[in-house]
């Protein structure tokens, strides 16, 4: 990631001029008293209003077809799930699709895929966009897509017997299921849609399922509205930011200020060159750390732990920000623990915060000390107690009993 200092590059300045003509952004800029065509430096850029999913939902609330994003030449409309509206539209021009194809071809090339490969794609082909975007990237590279889609395991195996794929494009859990069911001949794997590198031991388990045949299994990350944001190369050293496709900032989700390299924060993305429904300082809600690196592929930035949580429902413990969903990612790295069923209880003793964790387990053969070490490494907090239980009763993920007020915090990792 650049240091985001000095003058903006010409491509970003051009993007700001272009989107200043979109009613959605023109109104936001007017409200903020900002002229997008006069934003010249990173300092000015970082003063622009942050954008959220709720802002997009607001502009489509009344079934408005284009929501302030009408531009000439839109050739594709996809949809992404929305808790509030059911589905939220996304727009693409030919230029948008070409830019995405180039970026995803570069991801595939860095993963070790060549024009000689056949890629079995197990993502769903419907209103969502990911499968088609990957297909266009593979086509740009010259590789062949075997469009299996989201069909059951046996049908995937049958298609593989007929199509002889050498690469698998899938989510990690389904890829593992295919390996355990006997899929062979796969030498490379591109994974998306679920946590992968954020969960300790998951890559090793996946490679074991394919009897060690995999030369590489790489993680990718993006949001539906902007893909790709980051992806691993075949060196498997963490996801590199795709700075040719988008600008990535990392902010403190509470103060909204930038955080330095090596500090956990919320990822914020901006398209470099998007015509249909571009993102400008879009808060993803995803938690990651960005570090400088010198990879053999030439990349200079990396997400060393992948995307390891959500910034929703952050609370502070012992002065440290705790993201409840981050705990679920850590628990998922331990066999026998259910990362969907856990409860964090916060208490105060003699003015000092105490933190305890209960987690549902299918076995008592779990190294509690190792769990505590991983929690300390991942959250920077020492958990006073970790208890294994058969199940977690319905309730909040975080039960905050400190002081006079009792606060119940639910999250995506919430117990039932």
Instruction: Specify the 3-state DSSP secondary structure of 402.
Output: coil
Q: In which band, very low, low, confident or very high, does the pLDDT at 409 lie, cut at 50, 70 and 90?
A: low
Average pLDDT estimate for 127-149:
95
Output DSSP code: residue 311.
Answer: -
Instruction: Answer positive or negative: Cα dihedral of 88, 220, 139, 143.
Output: negative
pLDDT, tens digit, for every residue of 341-364? 999 999 988 778 999 999 999 998
How many C-beta neighbours within 10 Å does residue 112 have?
Answer: 18
Q: Half-sphere exposure of residue 261, counting CA atoms within 13 Å on the CB side?
A: 12
pLDDT, tens digit, for every residue of 56-84? 999 888 767 788 898 899 999 998 888 78
> Has residue 36 got a pLDDT over 80?
yes
Q: What are the CA-CA distances from residue 257 to residues 1, 77, 212, 253, 408 (Å)?
A: 16, 34, 44, 8, 27
> Has residue 255 got a pLDDT over 50?
yes
pLDDT, tens digit, for every residue of 263-297? 999 999 999 999 999 999 999 999 999 999 999 99
Structure tokens at 123: 């993502």
What pLDDT, on a 0 to 100 scale, did the predictor assign at position 215?
96
Q: What domains sit in the chain, N to C, each tagged with a CATH number?
A: 315-409 (3.30.300.30)
Residues 6+ apart with CB under 8 A from 50: 251, 256, 268, 281, 282, 283
pLDDT, tens digit, for every residue of 207-242? 999 999 999 999 999 998 999 999 999 999 999 999
- The more confidently predicted of residues 351 and 145 is 145
Global confidence as pTM: 0.85
> Has residue 404 got a pLDDT over 80?
no
Residues 6+ apart with CB under 8 A from 1: 241, 243, 248, 250, 261, 290, 300, 301
Average pLDDT estimate for 195-211:
94
What pLDDT, on a 0 to 100 scale, did the predictor assign at position 281?
98
> Has residue 173 got a pLDDT over 70?
yes
Q: How far apart are the first and last CA of the chain?
A: 38
What pLDDT, on a 0 to 100 scale, did the predictor assign at position 87?
86
> Has residue 416 got a pLDDT over 60?
no
Residue keyed to tokens 């890559």: 203
* 386 beta partners: 357
Across the chain, what does the average pLDDT equal? 91
Q: Give dist(CA 381, CA 395) in Å, integer.
A: 23
């Amino acid at each position: 990631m650049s240091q985001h200092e000095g003058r903006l590059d010409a491509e970003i300045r051009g993007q700001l001029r272009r989107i200043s003509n979109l009613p959605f952004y023109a109104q936001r800029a007017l409200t903020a008293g900002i002229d997008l065509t006069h934003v010249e430096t990173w300092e000015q850029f970082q003063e622009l209003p942050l954008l959220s999913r709720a802002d997009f939902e607001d502009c489509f609330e009344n079934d408005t077809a284009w929501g302030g994003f009408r531009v000439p030449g839109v050739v594709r409309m996809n949809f992404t799930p929305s808790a509030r509206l059911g589905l939220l539209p996304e727009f693409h021009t030919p230029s948008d699709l070409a830019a995405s194809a180039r970026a995803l071809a570069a991801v595939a090339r860095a993963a070790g895929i060549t024009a000689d490969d056949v890629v079995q794609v197990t993502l769903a082909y419907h209103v969502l966009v990911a499968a088609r975007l990957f297909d266009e990237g593979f086509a740009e590279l010259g590789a062949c897509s075997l469009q299996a889609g989201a069909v059951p395991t046996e049908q995937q195996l049958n298609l593989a017997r007929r199509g002889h794929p050498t690469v698998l494009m899938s989510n990690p859990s389904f890829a593992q299921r295919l390996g355990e069911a006997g899929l062979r001949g796969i030498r490379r794997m591109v994974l998306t849609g679920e946590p992968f590198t954020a969960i300790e031991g998951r890559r090793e388990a996946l490679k074991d399922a394919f009897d060690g045949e995999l030369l590489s299994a790489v993680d990718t990350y993006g949001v539906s509205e902007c893909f790709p944001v980051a992806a691993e190369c075949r060196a498997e050293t963490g996801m590199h930011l795709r700075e040719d496709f988008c600008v990535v900032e990392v902010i403190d989700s509470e103060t909204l200020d930038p955080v330095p390299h090596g500090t956990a924060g919320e990822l914020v993305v901006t398209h470099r060159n998007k015509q249909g429904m571009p993102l400008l300082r879009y808060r993803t809600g995803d938690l990651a750390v960005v570090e400088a690196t010198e990879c053999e592929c030439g990349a200079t930035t990396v997400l060393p732990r992948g995307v390891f949580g959500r910034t929703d429902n952050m609370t502070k413990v012992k002065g440290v920000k705790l993201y409840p969903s981050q705990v679920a990612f850590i628990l998922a790295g331990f066999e026998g623990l259910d990362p969907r069923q856990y409860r964090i209880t916060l208490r105060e003793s003699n003015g000092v915060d105490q933190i305890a964790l209960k987690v549902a387990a299918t076995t008592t053969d779990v190294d509690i000390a190792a769990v505590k070490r991983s929690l300390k490494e991942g959250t920077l907090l020492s958990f006073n107690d970790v208890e294994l239980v058969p199940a977690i009763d319905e309730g909040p993920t975080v039960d905050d009993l400190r002081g006079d007020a009792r606060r119940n915090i639910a999250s995506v990792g919430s117990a039932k």
